[in-house]
Amino acid sequence: MAEPKWKRSNTLSRVMDGISKSREVLTNTAETSQKQGVTIDRFKSAADTPVNQASQTTQWRPPLQRHLNAKREVQFISIRVRVLNGDAEHDFQARFEPGNLQAEVVTEAISEKEGLSSQEANLFGLWVVSKDLELQLRPKQDIFALMIFWNRWMMKYTHFPEADNPSHPINRHWFIYRREAAASLVEETGHPSDPVIRLLYGEAKRNVLTRRWICTPADAAALAAIQLQIIYGDFNEGKFPPGSLINDDRYEQLIPVRMPEKMKPVQWEEAILKSYKQWQGLDSREARNT
């Protein structure tokens, strides 16, 4: 007997079930006694959380959530976005009123908090990033509309069958505020303000240290030296005697992952300190802009 036309196919059933599960993942069912509809000041509710070793190892939490009240009505939306601000990455956290949440609303809040002008803000955008997939959100795009289908995008572009389950760890993701994909080098150099330099430097440093950008050992040593110049100022032999970067494997924190094996520890220390001495006289802003 032919299958009734109204009966969902197995494929459609899986898609609809996936959407339903995705909605559950994106919705925080914690109850609150506050009344719905109270205006939420995004700046009063926004908070910056420094990123340290402890927070990097804590259990993953969805960065976008709907919070419900006792009547299971959406009370507010919360979002957490990583901001690559110079040498101190931090998480921007804010609450927004129920309804559609466009990417540009979030980026405007972040750019204002970071002290960017309207033109400088055009250099940056909101990205959703996992270990295997990165997508930039369009300014007018509703963030929830994209994230409901996140595991579908994962399956389409990464081809991992595990992504079919929205709760599988492979679907874990983060929001990052970083360089707009279409921004040109001319546009970057046309905005030499300190907030722009800090954000671009923070992103470049992260890209190198995580090996998103491939570099040579010489370039890695130079970046390590720039980090030391920014943090400690001019080279001081009293602070950096022989072995100071080796004893506690300190040099490994300054160079890209899986790069230490390229040279011996003593060679890394020599290369880093030699480069460090060449940056004498640069303040932190000038060092970031090299």
> Can you give the residue ranges of every domain in the chain?
61-191, 214-289
Q: Look-up: residue for tokens 């990052």?
A: 176
The CATH fold assigned to 61-191 is Ubiquitin-like (UB roll) (3.10.20)
Give me the percent of the chain exceeding a pLDDT of 90. 62
The per-residue pLDDT for range 16-43, each reduced to its tens digit, is 444 444 444 455 434 433 433 333 444 4
- Confidence at residue 48, expressed as pLDDT on a 0 to 100 scale: 55
- Confidence at residue 219, expressed as pLDDT on a 0 to 100 scale: 93
Angle between helices 150-158 and 10-26 (to 10 degrees): 120
Q: What is the architecture of the domain spanning 214-289?
A: Up-down Bundle (1.20)
Write down the pTM of the prediction.
0.77
Residue 128 to residue 81: CA distance in whole angstroms: 9
Residue 22 to residue 25: CA distance in whole angstroms: 5
DSSP-derived pairing of the beta strands 174-179 and 134-136: unpaired
Q: How many CB atoms lie within 10 A of CB 78?
A: 18
Res. 189 pLDDT band, cuts 50 70 90: confident
